Amino acid sequence: MAAPQVHQLFNHPIADHSFAADRKTLAVARDNTVELYSSNGSRFALNDELRGHDKLITGVDIAPNSGKIVTCSQDRNAYVWEPSNGSWRPTLVLLRINRAATCVRWSPNESKFAVGSGARVAAICYFEEENDWWVSKHLKKPLRSTVTSVAWHPNSVLVALGSTDGHARVLSAFIKGVDERPAPSVWGERLPFNTICGEFLNQTAGWVKSVAFSPSGDAVAFVSHDSTMTVAYPAGEGQPPHAVINISTQVLPFADLLWISEGEIVCAGYDCEPFRFSGSASGWSLVGSLDSTSKSGAANQRDESALNMFRQMDLRGKVIDDTQLKTVHQNSISTVRAYAGSPDAVRQISTSGVDGRVVVWNL
């Protein structure tokens, strides 16, 4: 396997990142600005900045086809940025929330985007042609806590939401006049707005950090703050799930996950390295780390480092100042994105984290 491409953009946390479809533009959320980098051979150079938010930006996403950029922030606002005469023109989105926006993602057909928030709602935003602005409808029930993650079904109608009440839910975000009626699926047939199509809870009800649909849309997976990954397979409308598989791990909690095929998932988080899982409705298992430099894994390294530190203090009265991790990322990973390939056969992924790095991994 080829070595990962490491891009040290700065020494500052990256809340979220997104590549354009041609992978020549990289958008990175840094504080209250979005920095746009252009590919310069094997390196990225700062090209532009998007300024408009006055608090920490929590999410950024580039639409693959139109190239529009959507951002959301703790200032309770979202902007859609469109290229105009060599610059970017922002359009304010009416989110109508009274708490911070936490995450944002475009729908696959790019007609809508979903924004999670601390107001116990998810805003489904769409463009209203008559008034020439972006408006929103709220998914409210049965949300009881902060929405930490949003993910779209391939049909652009269903949306999965993860929240701090420990639940991952699949709801309908059907907008009359915007969406066409979706084909029947395992999630149901009639799907008016805010229909609850699925509600899942893991064994400990830990905070859900991230949620994602499988490439086919027939399964949903989520990671929680209890170091578990859960995969749910619905059986049909009104039926109990065909399977809900909970995988416990001995690593630190995951912060994000990505399906790289119908039977493989990559998770990453506070252990500073991405892990690959493999399985099906009959069971899932942890395959191993994608980070070949980590050897025995970050958890074992921490134990060994602590042991060596106390050994040196005991034998020589010396404190070893060694803060370099044996992983590619030097701090926790915040975001995992598909970089190259198709949704059901991802060849490369990109990760970003608190260390200010964006890393491209080969699978």
Dist CA 223 CA 256 (whole Å): 7
Candidates 261, 263, 266, 270; CA nearest to 289 is 266
Q: What is the pLDDT of residues 232-243, one digit of tens each?
A: 999 988 889 999
pLDDT at residue 17 greater than cutoff 60: yes
- CATH superfamily, domain at 5-362: YVTN repeat-like/Quinoprotein amine dehydrogenase (2.130.10.10)
Dist CA 206 CA 298 (whole Å): 22
pLDDT at residue 259 greater than cutoff 50: yes
pTM of whole model > 0.85? yes
Q: Express as a percent the part of the chain with pLDDT over 70.
A: 92
Residue 307: left (phi > 0), alpha (psi -120 to 50), or beta?
alpha
pLDDT for 306 equals 64
Domain boundaries, the chain: 5-362
Q: What is the pLDDT of residues 116-164, one digit of tens each?
A: 999 999 999 999 988 889 999 999 989 999 999 999 999 999 999 999 9
Candidates 60, 76, 88, 82; CA nearest to 119 is 76
Over range 244-260, report the average pLDDT. Answer: 97
pLDDT at residue 296 greater than cutoff 50: no
Q: Under a CB-based contact definition with an 8 Å cutoff, are residues 339 and 19 in contact? A: yes
Q: Which H or E run includes 307?
A: helix 298-316
- Residue type at 21 in one-letter notation: A
Average pLDDT, the chain: 92
318: confidence class by pLDDT, cuts 50, 70, 90: low
